[in-house]
Amino acid sequence: MCVRVADRVIMFGLTAVLFLIAISSIQMANGATRYVQITSQVVNIRSAPTTGARRVAKARRDDVFQLEKEEGKWFSIHLFSGGRRYIYKSLAKPIPYTPEIPELLSTRREIFKALHQAEERARREAARRYPPEAKPSKNLQRDQLLNDLYKLKVMHDFDVQPAIHRRIVLEGLRKGW
């Protein structure tokens, strides 16, 4: 009985992820999605729209991120965990952008696997610091921060734009990588 419930939870989670990715793809096709490009050498990505907020990761010049909205002097961007992250407006600019994934299937598969490994690493480290059964909200917050940090590193290591993350994940899930 427990296995069936666990299987249903996993399937529900995968269905929710696929739904969000599909919605995003539809938005991209309709031109509704906007992007920002980093204009400074290195830019702190923050957890809240203030310079005193925790630094989640560092973006590099020419990185492109999906723009969620503008909040005063900040761009709210989409990162890998789904949480809102922020970049100071003067360090980036809105641009027209069409996400392009790497041509080689083998490269896309490698990226997908590296993203999965980054996610597993984030989950392990978050659980080690904040056991999920003892501190579930702290664990989730830490897991999201580490996911964003490690997955951005993967995108940099492969020299691909962070904005293609969803397309790589969708393809990997569809093809069972």
3-state SS of the chain is CHHHHHHHHHHHHHHHHHHHHHHHHHHHHCCCCEEEEECCCEEEEECCCCCCCCEEEEEECCCEEEEEEEECCEEEEECCCCCEEEEEHHHEEEECCCCCCCCCHHHHHHHHHHHHHHHHHHHHHHHHHCCCCCCHHHHHHHHHHHHHHHHHHHHHHCCCCHHHHHHHHHHHHHHCC
Whether 120 shows a pLDDT value over 80: the answer reads yes
Whether 19 shows a pLDDT value over 70: the answer reads no
Residue 83 is predicted with a pLDDT of 86
With cut-offs at 50, 70 and 90, classify the pLDDT of residue 3. Answer: very low
With cut-offs at 50, 70 and 90, classify the pLDDT of residue 33. Answer: confident
- Mean pLDDT for 106-117 is 97
Whether 6 shows a pLDDT value over 70: the answer reads no
